[in-house]
Amino acid sequence: MAFLSLQQLPLPQVTKLWNGAFVNYMKPMSITEDVLQARMQQYAISPAYSTVVTVEDEYAGVMLFGVKDQLAWIGGMATLPNYRGYGIGRSLVAHAISLAQTLHVKELRLEVIVGNDKAENLYRSTNFTLINTLAVATGKLAHYRQAPLQLKLTQVSDWHLAMQPATTSWETRLATTDSVYDIYFKEQRLGYICCREEGDQLYVKQIFLPEPTQALVEALLTALHTLYGAVTCKIHQIDADSEQYALLQTLGFETLYQQYQMSYTL
């Protein structure tokens, strides 16, 4: 068994390997070269630390690895069907932990789909512990009430980074390149939302409302409806146990799937 840096392989080969490893996965994971490249840029995935494992010169598995400041994460990991059951996944996890130790980060995170018991048991057996449950949900923007809120477009600041919950998924953490809407009621800033248009839907990366209420969530969705129209709104990796998620569910947002966010402390 040997480990190769992802930057040693051409992008078409990496894409083919990814799609082969994630065939018949619990949710669609097939991607194109452009999508893979965009994913790596968007989520700060390092080609140098991301890894391909080989067995007797044949590709057996792949792991994307990201790092920023004191946090590292496994941004996707899978084994090719012919090599499942031979400890390839466990070897990749051990390799990720070794990389995190070398980089002197404080924490290594990953996510596993609820119901993928085999993967969850692997991570628990290698000393990953549960942080929280994350949900991906979708619903339609609509006009719920006269919205007394103002959404002011701005850039991510130190204030936003300081307010960002520590349990935020690596996939939805704010970057200095993001634009956010500050949520105001009159002159009072209540929180922020980070979102962007993706095709014919609105992709919501984060909603930060320290004290969410039914009226506030309805007013926020109405303000978004005013800006974007009655489009589909996809909320990514929201804390499934949060009050704001419960309120969104009362307004018709449906869960597409849930993931456990897990952590290995170094």
Burial 33-54 (b: 16+ CB within 10 A, else e): eeebbebbeebebbbebbbbbe
Structurally, the chain folds into a number of domains equal to 2
CA–CA dist 178, 172 (Å, integer): 11
Q: Tell me if 130 is assigned to some domain.
A: no
Q: Tell me if 18 is assigned to some domain.
A: yes
Rg over CA atoms, the chain: 20
CA–CA dist 27, 228 (Å, integer): 28
Single out the residue in 56, 85, 105 at which a domain terminates: 105
Q: Tell me if 21 is assigned to some domain.
A: yes
70 and 186 inside one domain: no
Q: Coil, strand or helix: which one is 238? A: strand
CATH code at 256?
3.40.630
pLDDT in tens, 166-204: 999 999 999 988 999 999 999 999 999 999 999 899 999
pLDDT in tens, 129-156: 999 999 999 999 999 988 789 999 999 9
What helix, strand, coil percent values describe the chain, rounded to 5? 30, 40, 30
Q: Tell me if 118 is assigned to some domain.
A: no
78 and 186 inside one domain: no
Q: Tell me if 123 is assigned to some domain.
A: no
Q: What is the percent of the chain where pLDDT is above 90?
A: 92
162 and 82 inside one domain: no
100 and 179 inside one domain: no
Q: Tell me if 231 is assigned to some domain.
A: yes
CATH code at 39?
3.40.630.30
Length of the chain: 266
- Element (H or E) spanning 214, and its range? helix 214-228
Q: Tell me if 129 is assigned to some domain.
A: no
Residue 231 belongs to domain spanning: 137-264
Q: Tell me if 112 is assigned to some domain.
A: no
52 and 147 inside one domain: no
Q: What is the percent of the chain where pLDDT is above 70?
A: 100
- Which residues lie below 8 Å from residue 45, measured CB to CB, with a gap of 6+? 39, 64, 65, 66, 75
Specify the pLDDT at position 24: 87
pLDDT in tens, 216-228: 999 999 999 999 9
| Band of residue 36 on the pLDDT scale cut at 50, 70, 90 | very high
pLDDT in tens, 69-104: 899 999 999 999 999 999 999 999 999 999 999 999
Single out the residue in 89, 105, 121 at which a domain terminates: 105
